[in-house]
Amino acid sequence: MKLQDCHQKHVEEIIVQQGAIPVEIRYFSAGGSRTLRVLADSPDGITLDRCAEISRAISAYLDEVEFGTTPYTLEVSSPGVDRPLTTHGDFARNIGRDVRIRLKEYTKKSDARKRGKIQSCTETELTLSDKGTEVVLPMDNILSGKLDI
């Protein structure tokens, strides 16, 4: 089940208007009920109050456009600290933090994963430092990353 593109764009715009960054917007059916799950973040983190504000704004929009003919649940929350880092923006927002990286391609199995502190991030490269050694990874070779907490 897919959220219509026009609704997806409006929900993303609402999140941005509320001073947050859309991380994931997912509309799905489970156990006979429908759920619209929205994950939002911001550089300084996201509070429960901000999630509530975003929820109210999205709900008002969906009521206005008479979204869906069947009942649904709207969930708005933070992606949490254990969410995968996958985009340039995800890595750039976490400069200075320790991460674990999984690579798409590698020569030895021991090279499949990297750890270190993010030093810099461009559209094409991620630079980590680990125990005094700098490692530059091509962004297009990163499968995923997670904060190393």
Give the whole-angstrom CA distance, residue 22 versus residue 40: 5
Neighbouring residues of 127: CB distance < 8 A, sequence distance ≥ 6: 118, 119, 120, 121, 134, 135, 136, 137
| E strand residue ranges, 2-131 | 21-30, 33-41, 72-77, 98-103, 113-121, 125-130
pLDDT of residue 60: 95
The CATH T-level fold of domain 88-147 is: SH3 type barrels. (2.30.30)
pLDDT of residue 3: 66
pLDDT tens for each residue of the chain, 149 residues long: 566 777 889 999 999 999 998 988 888 888 888 899 999 988 778 899 999 999 999 999 998 888 777 788 999 999 887 888 888 888 998 899 999 999 998 888 878 899 999 999 999 999 999 998 999 999 999 998 999 88
pLDDT of residue 6: 76
Q: In b/e form, how buried is each residue of 40-62, taking b as 16+ CB within 10 angstroms? A: bbeeeebeeebbeebbebbeeeb
pLDDT of residue 66: 80
Give just the sign of the alpha carbon dihedral 8, 56, 15, 149.
negative
Tokens of 96: 């200075």
Architecture of the domain defined by 5-77? 2-Layer Sandwich (3.30)
Q: Where are the domains of the chain?
A: 5-77, 88-147
Same topology for domains 5-77 and 88-147, yes or no? Answer: no
Give the whole-angstrom CA distance, residue 47 versus residue 61: 21
Q: What's the half-sphere exposure (Cβ side, CA atoms, 13 Å) at 123? A: 0
pLDDT of residue 2: 62
